[in-house]
Structure formats: structure tokens, C-alpha cells
Amino acid sequence: MNDHLSGQRFETVAIHAGQEPDPVTGAVVPPIHQVSTYKQDGVGGLRGGYEYSRSANPTRTALEENLAALEGGGRGLAFASGLAAEDCLLRTVLSPGDHLVIPNDAYGGTFRLIAKVVERWGVSWSVADTGDPASVREALRPETRLIWVETPSNPLLGITDIALIADLARTAGARLVVDNTFASPYLQQPLALGADVVVHSTTKYLGGHSDVVGGALVTSDAALAEELAFHQNAMGAVAGPFDAWLVMRGIKTLAVRMDRHSANAARVVEALQAHRRVSRVYYPGLPSHPGHETAAKQMRDFGGMVSFQVVGGESAAVEVCNRTRLFTLGESLGGVESLIEHPGRMTHASVSGSALEVPGDLVRLSVGIEAVDDLLADLTQALG
């Protein structure tokens, strides 16, 4: 990390960490090092440790240093997708016979990776309501090595008290991993609250422009970081140089984007709550949300994700998704443009029939940073 950044604030770190002007040309933005291999000055004479781009690439290094700084961690690792990052973490810390606890509203892809892939290698798992410490305690076994937390969760915006579950994990001899994708490091810093590892889909708010797929791990545990880095190289699902550059470019505006996402979402929530065709709104910023106090304690603001249930059941919810014009019907989230989707049939189709199934009348919004009055007008016309 750049030493002159120590003590500086998030917005400054986001723009500068890992990104000194290029020593040769003075370019203020790190170049895209679109290269696979590096000239050695005699056998083993590496320049700056670079040997082969799966092992390390300067553009990826810049992003990884930046991510570590943003999360207040010792080491960041960038991957080809959020799921590639998760796979690397799971296969690094778990062995056959081990057990992990997963949340009852985990991202569908996370659930699929654990239940359909990792389980085949002799790892078992239990589902818990991570918002309720008693439920987590009940799910623990002597062989539990990992507790997985997503807060706010996807798509029900459930809130987990990170510090509380971190204590529980420590007592149980398990590691706590927090998927920080929905909050981003600007709104929430799980490592400072006791988490061992932070996971990101950088595809979402960190990239922020719906133009790249990527993932990341950040940890302050130096020994674990070494193991993760070994597996990152051994398994090979690294972020390519252009993808790393795009995520870095997105991160420079993360703070201003998250402020606007949060402000717009608060207005959307207000409008939805007042609408007669909306039966329930899920947003941690609402005082009536069961996790509101915890969210207020561990988050700077409440973010841009909003879910709601539509009066009239599943077909009415699908209809609303089909009728918006400005909110684009699509999966993913966290970009500058507003998106709408039906989790039951789209992002969470893979958890259908499991303990993680979501209500059929649920609609999820990724509230973008457009003019909020245009967003409200679109939702009003779509709800009819």
C-alpha cells in the first residue's frame, strides 16, 4: 500500500491506493499490462517479481492493493468472477469431512456452488438464519470450519450482526467470511468488525457500470492470505488485466455512487410503502426492518438494493417486472443504471425447492443513480 495514504479517508484511498503515477511516463492511471510473460534479466532475474500473468500481473496487483486498502485488510486477491473467488476460498479452507454454515438467504450462485459442487468433495453444510445467533449456534458442529454471512442479504435484505457472529465463530474455532457485495467497503467494513475474510463480486458496486465480471477476497490474516494466493495461482481463475483495470476505474467513484444509490433507494422505498399494490417493502433503512438497528450500527448508509412484494401474487410481480421502462429487466445489480428482476424465476431459480426459496410475489430493484423523480414515475406507471 502507498505509505503516504495511511490515515487518509476512504474517498482518497479509493482513488490512489495501489496507483502511483507510472514511473516511466508519469501516466496518472496505471496501464493495462496486457501481457502473459516477462523478460527475465538472467535466469530467475525477475523485475518486480513478475514472471507469468496467472501468478501476478501489474494491473491486477494495482487492483489487489487497492481492494486491500478499501477493506482495511492486509491482502487483496482479484478473480475472474465472484464465484471464482468463493471457490478459491472454499477449497483453500475446507477439506473432506469439514462442515460450514450458510445463510438461509444466500446468493443463489453461492448456494449452488456449495450444495452442488463443494458437497461432492465430502464437505457438509447446514442452513441457518444468520440474523439470529441462536440459529447459528444450533447449526454449529465440532467439524464446522466456516460460517458464511451475507449482509445485507440477497434478495431479502436480511441483516446479520457481523461482530456478534465473529465472536461466535471464534469460540467455535471456525472462520467468518462476509460477502460484502451489497454494501461495498464504502458502506461496511467487515474485517474491522471481526470477520476473517471478505468476499466480493466486483461485478456489482465495485465495478459499478455493468461492464465487467470479477471477484475478490480480502483478509488481514497473513498466513491465510499466503494460502489463498497459492490456491489462486494453482487454480488459475484470476482477473485479466483489462477486467482488473475496469474494476479499478469503477472504484474511483464508488463513494459518490453509493451515496446517490442510497439516497435514491430511500426515496423509492418511501414511494413503494405508500403504494396500495405493494404489500411489503424490504429495506434495512426502514425503522420497521428487524435488522435496522444493527444495520445502522455497522453500515454508513443502507445502500441501493430494495425488494418488495406485490399484491396479487407471482403473476402480478412478473407483470410489474415486464412493465417498467427505465428500470431495465435484467439480472445483476450495482451498476449506475436501475434494474428490476423477479428473483424466483431469475437470480434465485437455482434455490427453488430448497430452504432458500424466495417468495413468488417478490420483486428486486437495484436502484441506480438516475434522477430519482424519473425512477419514481417509472415505478408508479409499472405498478398501475
Ligand X SMILES: *Cc1c(COP(=O)(O)O)cnc(C)c1O
Contacts 24+ apart (CB under 8 A), 131-140: 131/158, 131/159, 131/160, 131/161, 131/290, 131/291, 133/161, 133/164, 133/165, 133/168, 136/101, 136/165, 136/168, 137/168, 139/101, 140/101, 140/168, 140/172, 140/174
Q: Residue for cell digits 467497503?
A: 185
- Interaction between residue 61 and ligand X (CB under 6 A): no
Minimum Å gap between C-beta 346 and ligand X is 12
CB under 6 A: which stretch of 9-17, 159-167, 200-208, 264-272 binds ligand X?
200-208
- The angle formed by the CA atoms of residues 149, 155 and 321, to the nearest 5 degrees, is 165
- Selected catalytic residue, list 87, 161, 179, 361: 179
| Residues 137-176 within binding reach of ligand X (CB under 6 A) | 150, 154
- Interaction between residue 81 and ligand X (CB under 6 A): yes
- Interaction between residue 243 and ligand X (CB under 6 A): no
Nearest residue to ligand X by CB is 82
Answer yes or no: 204 catalytic. yes
Minimum Å gap between C-beta 335 and ligand X is 12
- Interaction between residue 179 and ligand X (CB under 6 A): yes
CB under 6 A: which stretch of 64-72, 75-83, 218-226, 362-370 binds ligand X?
75-83
Minimum Å gap between C-beta 178 and ligand X is 10
Grid coordinates belonging to 30:
496505471
d(CA 193, CA 196): 9
- Interaction between residue 73 and ligand X (CB under 6 A): no
| Residues 214-233 within binding reach of ligand X (CB under 6 A) | 215
Given candidates 30, 58, 76, 109, which one binds ligand X under the rule CB under 6 A?
A: 109
The answer to whether 166 and 296 have CB atoms below 8 angstroms apart is no
d(CA 378, CA 323): 9
Contacts of 28 (CB under 8 A, 6+ apart): 21
Whether cis (ω within 30° of 0) applies to the bond prior to 152 is yes
Minimum Å gap between C-beta 374 and ligand X is 25
d(CA 340, CA 324): 8
Answer yes or no: 107 catalytic. yes
- Interaction between residue 207 and ligand X (CB under 6 A): no
Q: Helix 82-93 crosses helix 222-235 at what angle (to 10 degrees)?
A: 120
- Interaction between residue 204 and ligand X (CB under 6 A): yes
Task: For ligand X, give the closer residue by CB, 58 or 82.
Answer: 82
DSSP letter (8 states) at residue 172: H
Number of residues that bind ligand X (CB under 6 A): 16
Given candidates 57, 61, 92, 110, which one binds ligand X under the rule CB under 6 A?
A: 110
Task: For ligand X, give the closer residue by CB, 203 or 307.
Answer: 203
- Contact positions toward ligand X, by CB under 6 A? 81-83, 107, 109-110, 150, 154, 179, 181-182, 201, 203-204, 213, 215
**Positions marked catalytic:** 54, 107, 179, 204
